[in-house]
Structure 1
Amino acid sequence: MSELNPFLNYGIPLWENLRDFWQKTVQQKMDATVSRNDSFWAMDKDYKLIAFNDSFYQKLKKENIDDVYCGMDLKGIYNDIAFFRVCIEGCKEVFDHSNPISLFEISEEGMGQIHEFSFHPAMNIHGEKGCYIWERDITRDVHNILNLEDMEYRYREVQEVSNVGHWIWDIDKDEINWSDQLYSIWEKDRRNFTANYDSVVGMIHPSDRVRFLDHLEDCLQGRAIHDITHRIVLDSGEEKYIHTKGNLFRDASGNPIRLSGTAQDVTKEVMTHHKILEQNLELQNFVRIVAHNLRAPIANLLMLSRIYEWGQNKTNDDIVKNIEATSLALDHTIRDLNNSLSFKRTLKERVEEIHFKEILKDVRALLYREIKTTNASIDANFTAVSRIYSIKSYVSNILYNLLVNALKYSKDNVSPKIVISTEEKEDRIILKVSDNGIGMELTPERKSRIFDMYGRLSANTKGKGMGLFLVKTQIEAIHGTIDVLSEKGVGSTFIVGFPK
């Protein structure tokens, strides 16, 4: 066979009768098949092949049919070759009803490839019916659609989980397009709510509306980036906090034409933040009250130590000396704690160089009685890191509470052995406090609970559970971290990470 053209014609008389049809209707479709490698062929009402392209010829050749010619009978091919069996139904529909139809064939040999067969009626100048068929591999198209649908599903799922949606505001048309999640957040029905400038602004809380509009104007004028948290009022009267941020797009003349971005329901986060602020305020007031009530007794103890007649009795001298040291350390701690919970306002002003050895000395003085009563030993090694820059009162309180915890949860009839050490990480100074106490069985839930306020793991344990809560609060205030490793009956290790 000579070189195949995209459209084969062997000059049979029927082709002359169909010349106008092919030229006007089929030729452009035939040309389109060349770049796509689609198969294209035509037949008359007796299933005789009229014309075909090279792709059709190659498909038959793979089925060991080398003699492909115009006028050959296609019925045998449709019946014998599984790939072409859909043609029986397609051609019959065209001949019976003259309706175009598309059928699909999944090729198992082609690893699940999907092929579309399009059947179209044709008629020559004598009114005789024919049919032309266009077969194309749509596997990639179908997979792209399925992948797109899967991506859209996953995107919607992510929006639902994070409670965030996206929006686009066409400024000229005053049309705002919302994602499904935004309708859910604002509790609106897509069918009867039109999102535009007036309807959206109308739902913003009256107390936040002026601030929002001023911010929006700054964005449109290029003075700010759209990033704001505000309240909205739902139809039910419920209030929500919304964090919205976006980018502004301008035309060639610099005029704003579109603003698009995301909006997230942050009500839970804002309310949690408010609750923390309230707790911090209560804690500050508590510390101030305690400090005020303790200052007078401490001052009296220090005064008594000053008027005490030293040298009369060695035992009494030692006792009073210990009372004086403890009172001084307690006085320093109370003064530091009086301002220690004013976190962000005083953070930079109060940062200073702190020596771990000196902090431990003060804490040991405060815990002198407990250490002596339990016959505890404290082994400290600050060779790796001897000092840090932080807030002294915070570091003192952290170490104090960790030692109190180690002494409190020691084993019966076993002297507590406490090991304190430091080490340096890439972005952290690590302080470890280990003990040989009763230890704990820790699950992730129990681990988080021991740092909660009043977060004791058992009603049988001593204390109110405030110490570790204060430790965690102060560590987080200086952007540090705390973790705990523990084994029941063996002991616990608290690991504190201070930012460098």
Structure 2
Amino acid sequence: MNTLTRTITIEEAPIAIATLDTNLCFINCSSPWRQEFITNDKEIFGKSFFEVVPSAPAVFRNILENSFSVNDNIVREQKHLMPDGSNKWYQWSIKAWKEIDGTIGGLIITCTNITKVKRAKDLLIAAENVAKMGGWDLDMITNTIQWSRITKEIHEVPLDYIPNLETGINFYKEGEHREKITELIQNAITTGEEWDTELQIVTAKGKELWVRAKGMPEFVNGKCVRLYGIFQDIDKKKKAEIKNAQIKERLDLATEVANIGIWEYNLHKDELEWNDEMFPLFGVKRKDFKGNFESWKATVHPDDLERCLQEFDMAVSGIKDFKTEFRIVHPDGTIKHIKANAGIFKDNEGKIIKMVGTNWDITKLVNTQLKLNKSEESFKGSFKSSAVGMALVAKDGSWMDVNDTLCLSLGYSRKELLQLSFQEITHPEDLEKDLSQLQRLLDGKINSYQLEKRYFHKKGTIVYVVLTVTAVKEIEGNISHFISQVVDITDKIEAQKKSEEFLELTKNQNNSLLNFAHIVSHNLRSHSSNLSVLSKYLIEEQEESEKREIETMIVNASESLNETVAHLNEVVQISTQAEGQLQDVCLNNIVKNVEKNISALLQQKNVECHISIDQSIKVKGIRAYLDSVLLNLFTNSIKYSSPNRIPKITIQATNAGKYIILNFRDNGLGIDLQRHGKKLFGMYKTFHQHEDSKGIGLFITKNQIEAMNGKIEVESEVDKGTLFRITLVAA
């Protein structure tokens, strides 16, 4: 074929076709090609393919270049991005052509615009995805099945899965479903009968699904050569239908068991139909029932009839639904309470044509409600006037209602208390045990519980109570709320605490007296023995110099005895005179005054003193005792300071609610608490070899602090220092 003949053929071709040389430049093209790719009459001979078709993707160059080495026709579908941003799809058919001498002369390319087909296919795929509907096609000659992607997804098999007739049938659930599809396929092959059915399959992953399977046969010369159809996932829809059917079945059964009557009234024909349950409900025999509106009216209690008729007319007029309660009178005079609900039905013109409703006996419920109302009124009266604090508490702990007694105990008004929860006013140390018992109540492990706990009064004081909590349950057995009884035992607890404090004070005083007795017995006996011996020596001694020495010893012994008696007297004063003398004392002023009084000693020993006490902190105490306590702590810190470092004293005070904590810390020699801790505050107990140590200071300090209703604690480490922690009552 020469060039002239080829050119004429291509130009007249009815399809988009073009020839390219080995450089991918145009030799010629058909008119449809020009219409598709060339917007004007410009000459394209010798121009590159990609200059004429700039929308061709880059990968298409490799396809064209590789086509020279392939004998077969190459078909490719390619997406082209157009200058206006839109996409077009083309199907390209490419084949190399040869010259007379057998060499490759170039390429013959045909092009088909498949954009519409491609978009339609995409829409079809999208529709399949939305409807979960796939297709299938069985070739009866080769026994091969083609499944669409959706069909494979429904069966939960890989996209490269290849089924056949046997494997396809085996996906259906064994038993009636597999037998049914086998029968339908056999009928289609033998009789040409189509099928459209709903069956269950078991997917490759073991999931049971309801599907819609539709199949159609194709015959050639009286023989079935093909079966094809659709396959749809209807699992959710089918299960919903099954569930609705079960619900309807249960509803019908419940209606029968619960004696619920169902009626239907045709307004135009005045026809009233009753189901079997309506007759015993109204005490009417079927043979006596006339089946009209008057039959129902005759059963209604005269006192309720007018109201019922008004409600009926309002329902027929569309003003409100027919939902009411009324009494009926049986032929034997028995009165029953009936509850009625009804719906209306309209014709195409919007006119009401009939009513359908239900009736059931609520006589027992009404009587129970009357008893409950009386009981509730009685409870409300008891609740309000009870001398015991009472509250209705929701499951979240909020107060639903409280009586006046509880408000009085806690100091809140009813309005204030209803805005709080019991957690907010419960003492933190008691909250956990209360919540723990409450959880057991919620879990159904107990029906009630009782415990002693503390609430905070509105003024901040502690209210001691005995709390009893009982669960109130609904008809279904679920807890709705709690009834709490709160007995105020604050006076009892306070009296008990005072008794315990008195007993503790008596015990301490007895211990002090015992200790005091031992001291007196030991010290005075020692002094008297010493004086007795010295007196005897004095009488017997003849030498004047020796007598004077003995006299000096007697004087010293007398002074020692006097000092001992003074110490013992000071201890007695602490124990007997402190009660009732407590005053509001500014702690910072006391500490500063003591520091000032021993300033010379502090300077002499180069003591660094750091005091951090807020001026507003006040304690209940006796000034003389506080002076004595602080003076003793200051002098002890100086006396037992370490020779290896500069003495430091740090004094801090913090507010702890009802108490003030005073921390007195030094960096001195420290005390071995494991060795001396139990006798630290004993009388005449010393722990360091110091010439001024008499062992009386800490004993007196402890007694003075306890006389002011306080306590003293100690932390110490040898050669690192000591911390005295003093707790005093806040003013």
When the two structures are superposed, what TM-score results if normalisation uses the length of structure 2?
0.32
Which structure has the larger Rg over C-alpha atoms? 2
